[in-house]
Amino acid sequence: MATEATQADDPDAYAELMDRYGRISAIGDASGVLGWDQQVMMPEGGTPARSKQLSALSATSHELLTTDEFGDALEAAESADLDDGQRAAVREIRRKHERAVRVDTDLVERISRTTSEALPVWTQAKDEDDFDSFAPVLDDLVDLKREYARQIDPDADPYEVLFADYEPYLGLDTAERVLGRLREELVPLIDAIEESEADLADPFSGTYPEADQEALARDTLDLLGYDWDRGRLDVSAHPFTSGTQFDARITTRFDESDPLGALTSTVHEFGHATYALGLPDDSYGTPLGEARDLSVHESQSRLWENHVGRSQPFWNLLAPAVEERLDTDASPQDFYEAANRIYPENRIRVEADELTYHMHIVLRFEIERDLISGDLAVEDVPEVWNEKMDEYLGVTPDTDAEGCLQDIHWSHGSFGYFPTYSLGSVLAAQLHDAAAAEIDDLDGHVEAGEFDALHEWLTANVHRHGKRYRTPELVEEATGSEYSADAFLDYANEKFAALYDL
């Protein structure tokens, strides 16, 4: 219940709520810096102290979000006279507050402890290809996250509740529909590619020193317009992006035999960073200065990675830098083909090409949904995994290490995260179509290294809104149409038909 004072229409109520929320948001960003440091800079011995620092910040932030005073400030803001943006900000804070207060502190701590303990167990199980040693922990995590979902909404499908932690507004039915279409339409496309006799170029057969690859990554970020005054490029075991509109840093990794891997992952992370950097400075610390969750974030990374970074005009632009840095003299067309090879024999999600990637996601989605519903037992995961790999991609992993143990997500207790990768890729195509319809000769801009128009379009239509719109509204505002897989499937069919003479 609100107190009498807060029921009045208080003109300062919004500012007061943002003050409280700003503290929580800043603590979250501080955790982000600690996380970046841990993965990029921290000496190994720092782990025990860093774990305590991170859990102190997360417990503090949870407490600040769930106090009665915070609830009162929220109610007061809700009864104040607000403009549309403010109302949206309050809506987002209400959602976050509700989800936090409904879950017992005890359960939060058990999940946090169990995931901490799960990480080394998973690492060892993967190293030793021993699913049985990870199975009991996975079982516990499934139970805990099911209970977590039940506490948030006892009447809802628990997987839907978990999915909404990562994508709050698209809805599980949309995810199922879109992933279903990807499965239906990509499996035959991939089959056709496998049967094609087209022989795509493969110009990167040598060894490419890390320093040369790094120079090329920096050249590429320069060309794309990365703001080095608000960013950095570093190396980490797994590429990621971290930060805010004032400081959005990317990482990559280098494999001396695979320069394309570092390059495409750098462009991917650049896309994430541009989203952060496009959020409005003056809304920092409020939901209007925060990115719209994972599927929209992934749409930005995939738009740059695939629709720019795997396009013909981009390789016409980049070819001279590649030739110089990597000392290789293939043609732009060769580079373009190399960047677009489809290789269904690959078993590893993070190494997958633009098409088969989605089959890795569909498989994980189906398995984790059935795990949470109870239709699939943990012990049966390896078998089901291998069957689905065979069904969708015609290959079977030789080991669980390169099968159901390959990804870290479940050891974090992250069920419902995987679908956002494909949902974002699909949205990338839809946004790119909309941008191309409004920017005169977008391909020409890309080939000329002129990315301002595309940056401006994305900032105006996506980034600057922060969390003002719910995901479906954001898509409609930006593209004029409903969220759908049409644009992606058209793009994929057309591009690969041309490449593979289908």
Q: Any idea which residues carry the catalytic annotation?
A: 269
Q: To which residue do tokens 């110089």 refer?
A: 324
- In the list 1, 5, 11, 45, the residue contacting a copy of itself (rule: CB under 8 A) is 45
CB count in 10 Å sphere of residue 135? 17
Q: Which is nearer to a copy of itself, 16 or 407 (CB)?
A: 16
Rounded CA separation 373/415 (Å): 12
- Stretches 54-62, 149-157, 345-353, 376-384: which one binds a copy of itself (CB under 8 A)? 54-62
Distances, alpha carbon 204 to alpha carbons 44, 334, 397, 461, 474, in Å: 34, 10, 26, 37, 40
| Least distance CB 211 / a copy of itself (angstroms) | 14
Instruction: Pick from 8, 12, 15, 52 the residue near a copy of itself by CB under 8 A.
Output: 52
Contacts of 225 by beta carbon, 8 Å cutoff, 6+ apart: 451, 452, 455
**Given strand 247-252, what is the order of strands in its sheet?**
233-235, 247-252, 241-244
Per the CB < 8 A criterion, the answer to whether 121 and 130 are in contact is no
- Does 29 help bind a copy of itself (rule: CB under 8 A)? yes
Q: How far apart are the first and last CA of the chain?
A: 65
CB of 56: closest distance to a copy of itself in angstroms? 4
In the list 2, 23, 177, 203, the residue contacting a copy of itself (rule: CB under 8 A) is 23
Total residues at the site for a copy of itself (CB under 8 A)?
A: 42
Minimum CB separation from a copy of itself for residue 31, in Å?
A: 8
Q: In this chain, which of 57, 156, 215, 436 binds a copy of itself, going by CB under 8 A?
A: 57
Choice from 4, 9, 48, 375 touching a copy of itself (CB under 8 A): 48
Among 34, 82, 108, 135, binds a copy of itself (CB under 8 A): 34
Candidates 7, 12, 46, 68: give the one binding a copy of itself (CB under 8 A): 46
C-alpha span between 366 and 159 (Å, rounded): 11
Q: Does 377 bind a copy of itself (CB under 8 A)?
A: no
Smallest distance, a copy of itself to C-beta of residue 39, A: 13
Q: How far is the CB of 73 from a copy of itself (least distance, A)?
A: 16
Contact 292, 469 (CB under 8 A): yes
- The beta-carbon contacts of 371-377 under 8 Å, at least 24 apart in sequence, are 371/142, 371/415, 372/142, 372/145, 372/146, 372/149, 372/158, 372/159, 372/162, 372/415, 373/157, 373/158, 373/159
Q: Report residue 277 as tokens.
A: 């950097």
Least spacing, CB of residue 129 vs a copy of itself, in Å: 28
Question: Scanning residues 235 to 274, which ones bind a copy of itself (CB under 8 A)?
Answer: 243-247, 249
The interface region with a copy of itself, picked from 30-38, 398-406, 446-454, 458-466 by CB under 8 A, is 30-38
Radius of gyration of the chain (CA): 23
Residues 60-79 that bind a copy of itself (CB under 8 A): 60, 64
Q: Which stretch binds a copy of itself (CB under 8 A): 27-35, 332-340, 427-435, 480-488?
A: 27-35
Neighbours of 175 (CB within 10 A): 22
Q: Name every residue whose Cβ is closer than 8 Å to that of residue 302 and which is 6 or more positions away in sequence.
A: 268, 271, 424, 425, 428
Q: By CB under 8 A, is residue 27 in contact with a copy of itself?
A: yes
Here the tokens at position 475 are 């898509």
30 sits near a copy of itself (criterion: CB under 8 A): yes
- CB of 349: closest distance to a copy of itself in angstroms? 30
Q: Which of residues 197-236 bind a copy of itself (CB under 8 A)?
A: 227-232
CA distance 284 to 198: 50
Q: Is 464 in the site for a copy of itself (CB under 8 A)?
A: no
Residues 276-305 that bind a copy of itself (CB under 8 A): 281, 284-285
Tally the residues of the chain.
502
Contacting residues toward a copy of itself, per CB under 8 A: 22-23, 26-27, 29-30, 33-34, 37, 41-50, 52-53, 55-57, 59-60, 64, 227-232, 243-247, 249, 281, 284-285
